[in-house]
Structure 1
Amino acid sequence: MKPIALWPAWARNLPRLLLLGLLGWWLVNSATANEIAAGLALFLLGMRSLEDGVRALAGSGLETLVRTSTRSTLGGLVFGFFATVATQSSGIVSLMTMSFVSAKMISLNSGLALILGANIGTTTGTWIFATLGASLDLARYALPFVSLGMVLRFSRERAFAATGHILIGLGLILFGIHYLKIGSELFQQQFDLRAYAPPGYAGLLTYTAVGTLATVVMQSSHATMLLTVAALASGQIGFDNALAIAIGANIGSTATALLGAIGADVAAKRLALGHFFFNLFAAVLALAAFPLFRTGTRLGARLLGLPEDDALLQLAFFHTFFNAVGVCLALPNLSRFLRLLQRLLPDTTPALTAPKYLSPTQLKTPDVAIESLRKETWRLFDRAIDLIALVMQVDPKAMRAGEDPHELDHPPARVHTIDIDGLYRARIKPLSGLIVDFAARLAPPAPLAAKLQHILQASAAIQEAVKDTKHLQKNLVPGLQHPNSIVQRQYLRYRRHLVETLYAIAHLPREPGCDGSAAELTLVTHTSLAQLDPLANGLLEEWLKNGELSPEEATSMMNDTAYVRRITENLLTAARLLGEAALPPHAA
């Protein structure tokens, strides 16, 4: 026994407990740390609630709205702008967009356009803060969101409950920013930023880094810009430094999407990386041409009639100006940028659905491609055989090993209902789609075209067998446990017949030139089917006359006999077609 096992649980967790205790003591005794930590906690909790709400709402009218609004690049841009204006968080819109792209609600191209619109939409927050002189009471506006959200949260209607989650999330986010603002104001009283303001480009780069770091930590460019407006209004930082913080906040705003992309699919990762590249490009452009952007800000503010001595409104104009320039330069190159992202993050096919024998290089040699396609279809066939064996309550490995067939004459100890739909979607349908896609790209000469048709017909027959097995399972599971011994014995016969058919097909020779075995198996199996049919051999009528079977049970038997027959015929047809599709040994 290890000595550590003798320690009590609290002793093993002592370092963690001490750390939490120190953190708690610090928060209790430091008003600044307490406000900032509370703000971050509320903000992150709000983000989670908002994410849950968006996910739940995606099944209702939101999907239609998103699809309709993002049919064009311009539509995606406008939707992203107004979505960010409504939520006042580009991070939230980024996460929403990633969810839309991952759920295939919108394309990656539309998602990128939406992100560009969000970049401009997020600048409206700076205009609000600058107009109100950083005196906006966010907590006041947060309360209605939370109150209305809680009312809707308890609704039985899915859309209303999801909207409640979203409103609660928005309210908590506003509360979080409110406490971050209070904590930052307390922090400013203890830390004078003017003492750390290097001149020239060194100062610009320093404050760009400050803006980036602050936004990453607070997970909100709005919070960063709110603090920047407050600092500029109080004279703690200069105008140029405030512009640099705005540039940095743009870079930092991508952190939410980058973090959200961890563990996501490749489409979401491309979107997050695209968001980062776009914002980094705009930031580098603004810093490289900073004098031009500053002059453009002065001229633009004058054209809009903004007071020349109002640094806050000019900061807001700059924030919008440099984002708009970046978007205008990015839009014409959106398709090129999309191809770059696809090269940097190529599609990854899960091992379960990856083809084993197919390769695009085979398309140039039709005979090799046909044989590879035939092998891949046999692989699909093996998956279907295993799935049907599971429905028959038999372990696929045991079935292939030919374990004692007499066990099939007795009902299994435990009967399970198999999730055929789930297994079909995971193991059959994706591989079948790859086979059809590969076949569609083939242009074989006439002698090989017939073999290609055999392969496609075999694939279709395999899928039909699986679908009929799904219908058979509805009565097979209760039939194997039925209190009526006649019913139970009949379903045991169905089970044995299909398992023996699966075993025979699984052991058919698959090399080119061995297609005769499937024809021999067909003759034997059809004889077995005739003996299995209680209607054809007169047993069904006898059972009904003797009252040993109810009319409902008889009807189920007739239907299920038909299912067993169709499953058998489709399996044998697929095996025969794959045998006929084989090329002569010298050609393959």
Structure 2
Amino acid sequence: MLRKIFLPTIFVVLGYGFWISPDFKEIAAGVAIFLFGMLSLEEGFRAFTGGILERILKFSTDRLWKSVSFGVLSTTLMQSSSLVSVITISFLSAGLLGLSEGIGIIFGANLGTTTGAWLVAGLGLKVKISSYAMPMLVFGVIMLFQKPKVVKGLGYVLAGLGFLFLGIHHMKEGFEAFRETIDLAEYAVGGYPGLFLFALIGIAATVIMQSSHATLVLIITALAAGQITYENALALAIGANVGTTITAIIGSLSANEQGKRLAGAHLVFNVVTGLIAIIFIAEFVRAVDTISLWVGIRDADYTLKLAVFHTLFNLVGVLVMLPFIGKLVQFFEWFIKTREPSILGVKYLNDASVDFPETALEAVRNETLHIYDNAVKLIANGISMPRELIFSDRALDKAVARQARIIEVDIDDLYERSIKGIYSEIVSFTSQATFSWEMEQTGKIHWLRNANRNIVDSIKDIKHLRKNLLRFIVTDNATIRGEYNRLRVLVASVLRELDLARRAEGDEMPLLSIDALKLMVEESDDQLNERLVGLLRDERITPAMATSLMNDSGYALDACRNLLEMGETLFVHRDEDVAEAERDVALSDEEIDDILDEGDSR
């Protein structure tokens, strides 16, 4: 209901303002142009997040101080805490960051966003920046029509800066003209009632405009024109700081539990910081006056003093909250629990990461590992072997001979609840993600999509195998029972070896281990064909049993081949050079056939 009336109400208020005052029209237009500049700037920086920003983030967050520093520097450069928040949430949801590192980045982003106030107060109001806006817009728009992604990105950045400067100019001009018709400073409210009232106004303005930068520019230009008092400007700045959390909250709606926890921590940090600033407002004002005296800011230069205040209370907030990051993590892990739904859904995919190729690749890879873990449970149950037994150190052939108990499980139901939904989401996500990517990144997504199809196909093979397997592993005919147990051992061996390849570290070469498994699988096929002739000749099994065994061995072999092909994609070294070297020495299908032929001829 609120959503339906919110937008019309804004339109009515703006329309009334345009009707009663042309000066208000210029202020509103300035805000709109500034916001459009922010959007253009974010779009421009997105062009440079096709791997560079993500790679920097990976290596810049292994320590808390690095996380905070990354938040400060990235927000200072991009002048958008919103973009940094969205990137952080997408990384967190993709499993590339821990919650404490994500909180550190958000703390740093709050400090980095204070540089915007310094730029506007120190440069935007003292230089005729509209004269710089026009050339930026001209060159920026020309670059937007070029095909190269980097050039187009630079065009968005230039055009964004041009619109930012133009928006600041119109807001400044509008407030100065507005002063001649009405003095908003007459409506100033003093004391703590004024602090809380104007803090709420600051929150509302930031929620509406979705940009604390825009709110701060509006506050600074209004303060410069004398339309608001210094004390009320401080309260508005506090409110803008709290209101900016709405962006992280909106960004977390499509994220997993980790993303929601980060948004919650962001809200707690900004609310606590705001309350500290309000409660100790007198101390902060005195500190601002002292610092201003040290750095040479004039007593009457309230716009620069506002920038000092904005930086100071954010810095105090970070220093106060840093020791409590561990407690924040514990609280939100308790408060927002990871739920286990009846139908399992994706854990790492979210809409926010689609625009960031490296992040999206990691999200899909982690989600593929998620679906593989679910598939392993299903396959283990499908061949009626406990998962703990498969991944133990026990000899599989001896363990299987003693494991005649049938594990009752509904394969179709398990597939519906733990595989199908995730697989559908991965297919949908990868279809969206590859639309505007480079060929190399699109190729990697293609391989990951194939890996998911391999996993699903292996499950279908096990489903077909299970029909006869359950009957023959409990039969009185020891020969056919032994042959089906061999198939169980084969599938279990592949799962066990893939797990070892997955956990391989250092100089081990998983791809070569997978080659050895391929040879084992193909040799098993040849050995079974040889045994079948003897078993039929000696009448140890019936022709009907032999037919079932041939069909079911095909299912088992196909399941193993699909799992091994998936393993080549998921479990080889992540380092591109190492992976390429492994592929150079890996065996092709033709080479595997040649080796088997040589073995037969000896």
TM over 0.5: yes
Picking from 64, 71, 76, the partner of 2:67 is 76
Bigger radius of gyration = 1
Moved more, 200-209 or 77-86: 77-86
Picking from 88, 94, 108, the partner of 2:79 is 88
The alignment partner of 2:299 has SS state of coil
* Aligned counterparts of 1:134 and 1:452: Cα–Cα separation in 2: 83
* Aligned counterparts of 2:139 and 2:126: Cα–Cα separation in 1: 24
Partner of 1:406: none
Partner of 2:189: 198
| Contact 2:35 2:211 (C-alpha < 8 Å) held by counterparts | no
The alignment partner of 2:338 has SS state of coil
| Contact 1:254 1:276 (C-alpha < 8 Å) held by counterparts | yes
Tell whether 2:229 aligns with 1:238: yes
Picking from 119, 125, 134, the partner of 2:110 is 119
Listed one character per residue, the Cα deviations across residues 278-303 of structure 1 (whole Å, up to 9, x for unaligned) are 11110001111222222222222233
* Aligned counterparts of 1:218 and 1:226: Cα–Cα separation in 2: 12
Q: CA deviation at 1:434?
A: 6.9
Tell whether 2:281 aligns with 1:290: yes
Give the percent of matched residue pairs that are identical in Structure 1 and Structure 2.
Answer: 33
Q: CA deviation at 1:201?
A: 0.9
Q: CA deviation at 1:571?
A: 5.6
Stretches of structure 2 that go unaligned for 5 or more consecutive residues are 347-363, 381-385, 408-457, 488-524, 534-549, 563-602
* Aligned counterparts of 1:70 and 1:323: Cα–Cα separation in 2: 21
- The 3 A distance-change label for structure 1 pair 508 and 571 is farther
Listed one character per residue, the Cα deviations across residues 431-478 of structure 1 (whole Å, up to 9, x for unaligned) are 1467899967999998999579989xx9xxxxxxxxxxxxxxxxxxxx
* Aligned counterparts of 1:104 and 1:503: Cα–Cα separation in 2: 31
Q: How does 1:316-327 map to 2 (within 5 A)?
A: 316-327=307-318
Corresponding pairs, count? 424
Tell whether 2:306 aligns with 1:315: yes
| Contact 2:99 2:258 (C-alpha < 8 Å) held by counterparts | yes
Tell whether 2:51 aligns with 1:60: yes
Q: How does 1:428-439 map to 2 (within 5 A)?
A: 428-432=371-375
* Aligned counterparts of 1:57 and 1:516: Cα–Cα separation in 2: 67
Listed one character per residue, the Cα deviations across residues 399-445 of structure 1 (whole Å, up to 9, x for unaligned) are xxxxxxxxxxxxxxxxxxxxxx99x9499514146789996799999
Q: CA deviation at 1:223?
A: 2.6
| Contact 2:27 2:170 (C-alpha < 8 Å) held by counterparts | yes
The alignment partner of 1:308 has SS state of coil
Tell whether 2:244 aligns with 1:253: yes
* Aligned counterparts of 2:154 and 2:477: Cα–Cα separation in 1: 62
Q: How does 1:5-16 map to 2 (within 5 A)?
A: none
Output the amino acid matched with 1:254: T
Q: CA deviation at 1:116?
A: 1.3
Listed one character per residue, the Cα deviations across residues 309-349 of structure 1 (whole Å, up to 9, x for unaligned) are 43332222111111100001111221221222222223345
Partner of 2:207: 216
Picking from 328, 334, 345, the partner of 2:325 is 334
Output the amino acid matched with 2:374: L
* Aligned counterparts of 2:560 and 2:91: Cα–Cα separation in 1: 43
Moved more, 230-239 or 108-117: 230-239
Moved more, 150-159 or 106-115: 150-159
| Contact 2:76 2:112 (C-alpha < 8 Å) held by counterparts | yes
Tell whether 2:465 aligns with 1:505: yes
Q: How does 1:299-448 map to 2 (within 5 A)?
A: 299-348=290-339, 352-353=343-344, 425=368, 428-432=371-375
* Aligned counterparts of 1:500 and 1:84: Cα–Cα separation in 2: 48
* Aligned counterparts of 1:512 and 1:128: Cα–Cα separation in 2: 78
- The 3 A distance-change label for structure 1 pair 523 and 261 is closer
* Aligned counterparts of 1:128 and 1:243: Cα–Cα separation in 2: 17
The alignment partner of 1:198 has SS state of coil
Moved more, 246-255 or 437-446: 437-446
TM-score, normalised via structure 1 length: 0.57
Partner of 1:267: 258
- The 3 A distance-change label for structure 1 pair 254 and 142 is farther
| Contact 1:57 1:163 (C-alpha < 8 Å) held by counterparts | no
Q: How does 1:23-172 map to 2 (within 5 A)?
A: 31=22, 34-35=25-26, 38=29, 42=33, 45=36, 49=40, 57-132=48-123, 134-137=125-128, 139-143=130-134, 146-150=137-141, 152-153=143-144, 157-169=148-160, 171-172=162-163
Output the amino acid matched with 1:429: Y
Output the amino acid matched with 1:70: T
- The 3 A distance-change label for structure 1 pair 57 and 205 is same
Output the amino acid matched with 2:467: H
Output the amino acid matched with 1:134: L
| Contact 1:439 1:452 (C-alpha < 8 Å) held by counterparts | no
Listed one character per residue, the Cα deviations across residues 33-86 of structure 1 (whole Å, up to 9, x for unaligned) are 654665565555555555555555433322222223333221222222222222
Stretches of structure 1 that go unaligned for 5 or more consecutive residues are 1-14, 356-420, 459-497, 538-561, 575-588
* Aligned counterparts of 1:572 and 1:133: Cα–Cα separation in 2: 66
* Aligned counterparts of 2:342 and 2:160: Cα–Cα separation in 1: 38
Listed one character per residue, the Cα deviations across residues 522-577 of structure 1 (whole Å, up to 9, x for unaligned) are 86999xx99x99xx99xxxxxxxxxxxxxxxxxxxxxxxx9996644466999xxx
TM-score, normalised via structure 2 length: 0.56
Superposition RMSD in Å: 5.3
| Contact 2:175 2:222 (C-alpha < 8 Å) held by counterparts | no
Listed one character per residue, the Cα deviations across residues 86-142 of structure 1 (whole Å, up to 9, x for unaligned) are 233323332333334344454433222222112122222222333347245555555
| Contact 1:181 1:226 (C-alpha < 8 Å) held by counterparts | no
Moved more, 28-37 or 242-251: 28-37
* Aligned counterparts of 2:178 and 2:389: Cα–Cα separation in 1: 65
* Aligned counterparts of 2:192 and 2:401: Cα–Cα separation in 1: 67
The alignment partner of 2:312 has SS state of helix
Listed one character per residue, the Cα deviations across residues 325-380 of structure 1 (whole Å, up to 9, x for unaligned) are 0001111221221222222223345755479xxxxxxxxxxxxxxxxxxxxxxxxx
Moved more, 254-263 or 187-196: 187-196
* Aligned counterparts of 2:18 and 2:237: Cα–Cα separation in 1: 32
Q: CA deviation at 1:200?
A: 1.4
Listed one character per residue, the Cα deviations across residues 492-512 of structure 1 (whole Å, up to 9, x for unaligned) are xxxxxx999877634358599
- The 3 A distance-change label for structure 1 pair 33 and 451 is farther
- The 3 A distance-change label for structure 1 pair 439 and 192 is farther
* Aligned counterparts of 1:282 and 1:27: Cα–Cα separation in 2: 34
Partner of 1:387: none
